[in-house]
């Protein structure tokens, strides 16, 4: 039986008491960290040490720790969720770092995401986008037969690919304009591609884009950072579909 390797790390962590306070980096030493542990487990170890020393632990978001909920997320050395492609922060393991590494840890940086404390940001603007039009208003009733509405396999797969979005906000954090276009594009695609979502497609595109602007998100610059950093690898083609749906609704729909 082999013993897990341990490493020592130098951490530069963003500390901020609240949205109106001035933040700063503070340095910490993470010693004897198992390479089998996740990044969040490493932060747990650091927080336990800080608590024992009577110091304020580092505040960070998390929930399922299984890459499902989208609650976790910080910028690691300039990259949302860290250096591994298609991975959430809670699923990033310390074996991807080397002994003696210096790791800079920051919160999401976006006008629409206010810092609550340290690494925790207010991502409720994403919820507000969903509340605006990210839904369908189908009549409730018994569960329909799975084959009652025929849907081509290609369309169903595109919809399911877009539905993989977990709303973590990495696309916003990675974008130079702090745009939520990939998030909105994924929601518009996942609902609008299916027959159940088509009746409200025009309203959905216009309402969500307008709400995105109102909340302070920027516009897409086609830099593709969002696609590169998305832990679920949502394609930028969903932004193209959002643009088509928005322009079509603007010209041909009565929803204004």
Q: Please name the fold of domain 123-252.
A: Fumarate Reductase Iron-sulfur Protein; Chain B, domain 2 (1.10.1060)
Question: Are the folds of 6-106 and 123-252 the same?
Answer: no
Q: Greatest CA span in the chain, whole angstroms?
A: 69
Please check whether residue 184 is in contact with residue 129, taking contact to mean a CB–CB distance below 8 angstroms.
Answer: yes
CA of residue 119 relative to chain centroid, distance = 14
- Measured at the CA of 194, the angle between CA 191 and CA 197, to 5 degrees, comes to 50
Using DSSP's 3-state secondary structure scheme, residue 198 falls into helix
pLDDT in tens, 179-199: 999 999 999 999 999 998 998
What the block records as the tokens of 132 is 């605006």
The answer as to CATH 3.10.20.30 being correct for domain 6-106 is yes
pLDDT in tens, 9-65: 999 999 999 999 999 999 999 999 999 999 999 999 999 999 999 999 999 999 999
Q: Which residues pair with 93 in a beta bridge?
A: 38
Residues 157, 136: Cα–Cα separation, whole Å: 19
Using DSSP's 3-state secondary structure scheme, residue 218 falls into strand
Q: What is the mean pLDDT of residues 104-127?
A: 96
Q: How many residues does the chain have?
A: 256
pLDDT in tens, 60-89: 999 999 999 999 999 999 999 999 999 999
| H/E stretch holding 130 | helix 124-133
Domain boundaries, the chain: 6-106, 123-252
């Amino acid at each position: 039986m082999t013993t897990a390797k341990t490493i020592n790390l130098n951490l530069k962590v963003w500390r901020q008491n609240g949205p109106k306070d001035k933040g700063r980096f503070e340095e910490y030493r993470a010693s004897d960290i198992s390479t089998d542990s996740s990044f969040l487990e490493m932060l747990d170890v650091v927080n336990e040490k800080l608590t024992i020393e009577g110091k304020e632990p580092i505040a960070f978001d998390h929930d399922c720790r299984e890459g499902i909920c989208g609650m976790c997320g910080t910028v690691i050395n300039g990259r949302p969720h860290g250096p591994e492609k298609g991975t959430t922060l809670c699923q990033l393991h310390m074996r991807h770092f080397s002994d003696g590494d210096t790791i800079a840890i920051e919160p999401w940086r976006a006008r629409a995401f206010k810092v609550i404390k340290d690494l925790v940001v207010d991502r409720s603007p994403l919820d507000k986008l969903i509340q605006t039009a990210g839904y369908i208003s189908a009549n409730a009733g018994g569960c329909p037969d799975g084959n009652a509405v025929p849907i081509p396999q290609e369309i169903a797969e595109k919809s399911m690919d877009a539905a993989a979005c977990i709303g973590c906000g990495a696309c916003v954090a990675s974008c130079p304009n702090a745009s939520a276009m990939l998030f909105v594009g994924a929601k518009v695609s996942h609902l609008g591609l299916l027959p159940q979502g088509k009746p409200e497609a025009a309203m959905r595109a216009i309402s969500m884009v307008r709400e995105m602007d109102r909340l302070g998100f920027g516009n897409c610059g086609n830099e593709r950072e969002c696609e590169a950093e998305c832990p679920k690898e949502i394609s930028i083609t969903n932004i193209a579909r959002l643009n088509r749906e928005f322009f079509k609704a603007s010209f041909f729909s009565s929803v204004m």
